[in-house]
Amino acid sequence: MKRNALLLAALAATLGGCASDRPHLETGTTYQVEWIGERPLIDNSHLTITLGDDDRAYGNAGCNHWFASYSLENDKLTFGPAGSTRKMCAPALMEQEQRFLDALGKVQRWDISPIDQLRLWPAEGKPIRLWPVEG
């Protein structure tokens, strides 16, 4: 009985140490968008974000490639005005792309959810939710 209690205490101490490790946002990692605020992405559309080491972010907005400056300090994350290529796609993809670029401009902070999903939060409302792209 004492042995089980000691094992549980050791396990709790180990897990407690892991829980206190603050997650960090990886530059150079590509993240794939799953949701923009209240809505999931259109099937088979691929939106991505990569935070470069040079304070420039870029990715695929579903139809066009996008780029913007960004500022990252602790859990604070903001994006400058986004630019993009100018290819035309189906109206639904173009609407989703505009929602994504608008949402980027409202991001103020980031966190990692309990299921290890990156979330980019605006001042109000639901976050952009992303997963790292396995490479």
Map residue 101 onto helix, strand or coil: helix
Q: Is the dihedral angle over the CA atoms 40, 96, 125, 18 positive or is it negative?
A: positive
| Predicted pLDDT at 13 | 38
| Predicted pLDDT at 10 | 39
Cross-strand bridge partners of residue 39: 36
pTM for this predicted structure? 0.81
pLDDT at residue 4 is higher than 80: no
| Predicted pLDDT at 23 | 66
pLDDT at residue 78 is higher than 50: yes
| Kind plus residue range of the DSSP H or E element containing 69 | strand 65-73
The pLDDT tens digits for 99-111 are 999 999 999 999 9
CATH class entry, domain 26-132: mainly beta
pLDDT at residue 83 is higher than 70: yes
The pLDDT tens digits for 10-41 are 333 333 444 435 567 888 999 999 999 999 99
| Predicted pLDDT at 22 | 52
